Amino acid sequence: MAKIWSKRFDNTLNPFIEKFNASIGFDRKLILEDLDCSIAHAKMLGKTKVLSSSETLQIINGLETIKSEYLEGKFFPSPPSEDIHYCIEEKLISLIGEIGKKLHTGRSRNDQVGTDLRLWLRKEIDNLVILLTDLQKSLLHLAKANIYTLIPGYTHMQRAQPLSLAHHLLAYLEMFQRDHERFKEVRSRVNTSPLGSAALAGTKIKIDRNFTAAELGFEKIYKNSIDAVSDRDFCIEFVSASALAMSHLSKISEEIILWVTDEFSFAKLTDRCATGSSLMPQKKNPDVPELIRGKTGRVYGHLQALLTMVKGVPLAYNKDFQEDKEPIFDTAETLSSCIKAMTILINEGIEFNIENLSRSVENDFSNATDLADYLVNKKVPFRTAYNVVGEIVKYCLEREILFKDLKINEIKKFHPKFNEDVFLDLDPLNVVKSRTSEGGTAFIQVKKEINNWEKKLLL
């Protein structure tokens, strides 16, 4: 097939270079967006009388036919078309003849591809926000059922202080809420129309950029035609927000992987989300969280690829930008499948081992801060109390006992202000209950947060 631009050339393209140059293999994903963009453009050319109403109608009908043929599986964009934009134009000309050649009046593939990409991304962001909300609802549900379930809290992967499991899960709700909000912010910049900037300088053809923007649901238009066709910030912002969301998914994945080990035994995997080993019959592997953790690297890689793609690229459009698509497509696909998988894992893939969890908070020194705070309440300076408790920990470790095993006269030797009631403060349930500061793990704070989330997520 002769290239659209072949009249300018004497020779044909080297076949390898032809393939090397082509993007049809991946940008066909943009077919519906490209069709919508072209329909809006044609309507606008009709409105400004650049096209007659009969020409406009024929072009729009032709584009609608391509859309239905595609949706019915009768048309599939493929080589030798170079990219989705040429592919649709060529198909239109083959369907309606000469009039089809008028579609590209007053635009360039540069503003066209930017428009398609933004339309596609906007749709993907809306989908991701819905998926994130579903995940948040699942976590909220699990949190609500586990307000009084205690779990050891860690810093440096060392037992620190006991927590309400709900509080621990709500921490992830917060992270996913920030992801949610980041996507909404990215969306507002994605939702800006570059259409009508043409190749880079605008056009002398009578166009109406606000009309096409409104037709396509864009909130605003780019103010500078050169910037409009050169901007790929929005792609980077999207992948950056996705990379952070993946980091949160990877974090919770890692925790689940640890929780289901024999060593932790805080939870177990149900048969719905675990797989067996080909060799070791006793095994149940946490493939789902491992895959999510593993896939995080792909998205980080895409972010690096895009940042490098734009580095040092002069104004305006450069073919480097053709490389923007695959990272974005794969990021959206990877992130949405990971959110879905995590939601299923939370809903039906994991069961907490409540007994083991409560046993684990009974058998450590994670109430040491409370022992110090007991003295602080009796006006002992914190640093003094801290040192007293340090000595008590050492004493207990040497005897392989816990605070609760100490006799009252034994503990009094460390500080005279200790009384019998200290043992009440050491009970893990009371430890958690007492952390009543705003945002703390106390049950009343956790319940308040659950209420807020229920309102926010409209359950």
Counts for the chain of helices (H) and strands (E), in that order: 19, 6
- Please, what is the minimum distance in Å from the beta carbon of residue 208 to ligand ARG? 23
Nearer to ligand ARG, 23 or 136 (CB): 23
Closest distance of CB 31 from ligand ARG, Å: 13
Q: List the interface residues with ligand ARG, window 26-45 (CB under 6 A).
A: 27
| Residue 349 DSSP code | I
Q: Cα(129)–Cα(298) distance, rounded to whole angstroms?
A: 20
User: Closest approach of Cβ 94 to ligand ARG, in Å?
Assistant: 20
Residues of span 319-348 touching ligand ARG by CB under 6 A? 319, 321-322
Q: Which stretch binds ligand ARG (CB under 6 A): 137-145, 146-154, 270-278, 318-326?
A: 318-326
Should residue 218 be labelled a site residue for ligand ARG when binding is judged by CB under 6 A? no
Per-residue 3-state assignment (H helix, E strand, C coil) for 270-301: CHHHCECCCCCCCCCECHHHHHHHHHHHHHHH
Which is closer to ligand ARG, CB of 22 or CB of 175?
22
221 DSSP β-pair partners:
193
The residues that are catalytic are 156, 277
**CB contact set of 264 (below 8 Å; sequence gap of 6+):** 258
CB of 276 to ligand ARG, least distance (A): 44
* Cα separation, 446 vs 254, whole angstroms: 24
With respect to ligand ARG, which residue has the nearer C-beta, 109 or 435? 109
* Residue choice 75, 172, 317, 453 for contact with ligand ARG (CB under 6 A): 317
Q: Which stretch binds ligand ARG (CB under 6 A): 108-116, 127-135, 219-227, 331-339?
A: 108-116
Residue from 109, 167, 180, 415 touching ligand ARG (CB under 6 A): that is: 109
Q: 86 or 453: whose CB is closer to ligand ARG?
A: 86
Contacting ligand ARG (CB under 6 A), which of 34, 36, 55, 83? 83
110 lies in the site for ligand ARG, by CB under 6 A = yes
Rounded Cα–Cα distance for residues 357 and 360 (Å) = 5
- Asked if 234 touches ligand ARG (CB under 6 A), the answer is no
Cβ closest to ligand ARG, residue 105 vs residue 387: 105
CA-nearest of 352, 392, 339 to 369 is 392
What is the end-to-end Cα distance of the chain in Å, rounded?
Answer: 57
CB of 75 to ligand ARG, least distance (A): 19
Which candidate, 90, 77, 92, 81, places its Cα nearest to that of 28? 77
DSSP 405: G
- Check binding of 113 to ligand ARG (CB under 6 A): yes
Smallest distance, Å, CB 131 to ligand ARG? Answer: 27
For residue 225, state whether it binds ligand ARG (rule: CB under 6 A): no
* Site for ligand ARG contains 23 (CB under 6 A): yes
Contact 408, 417 (CB under 8 A): no
Kindly state whether residue 316 participates in binding ligand ARG, applying the rule CB under 6 A: no
CA distance 457 to 134: 9
Identity of the residue, 308 or 419, whose beta carbon is nearer to ligand ARG in the bound complex? 308
8 Å CB contact between 84 and 116? yes
Q: Between residues 27 and 370, which has the closer beta carbon with respect to ligand ARG?
A: 27
- Per-position x/- string for 274-313, each x denoting binding to ligand ARG as judged by CB under 6 A, each - no binding: ----------------------------------------
Say if residues 28 and 49 touch (Cβ distance below 8 Å): no
User: Are the beta carbons of 99 and 46 closer than 8 angstroms?
Assistant: no
290 CA to centre of own chain: 17
Determine contact, residues 46/56, Cβ cutoff 8 Å: yes
At its nearest, how many Å lie between ligand ARG and the CB of residue 113?
4
- Per CB under 6 A, the segment of 2-10, 231-239, 316-324, 382-390 that binds ligand ARG is 316-324
- Select from 228, 251, 67 the least CA-distant residue to 175: 251
Burial 177-201, CB ≥16 within 10 A → b, else e: bebbebbeebbeebbbbbbbbbbbe
* Cβ distance to ligand ARG smaller for residue 137 or 232: 232
Give the angle 255-256-260 at the CA atoms, nearest 5°: 120
By CB under 6 A, how many residues form the interface with ligand ARG?
10
Residue 249 C-beta: closest distance to ligand ARG, Å: 29
Residues that bind ligand ARG (CB under 6 A): 23, 27, 83, 109-110, 113, 317, 319, 321-322
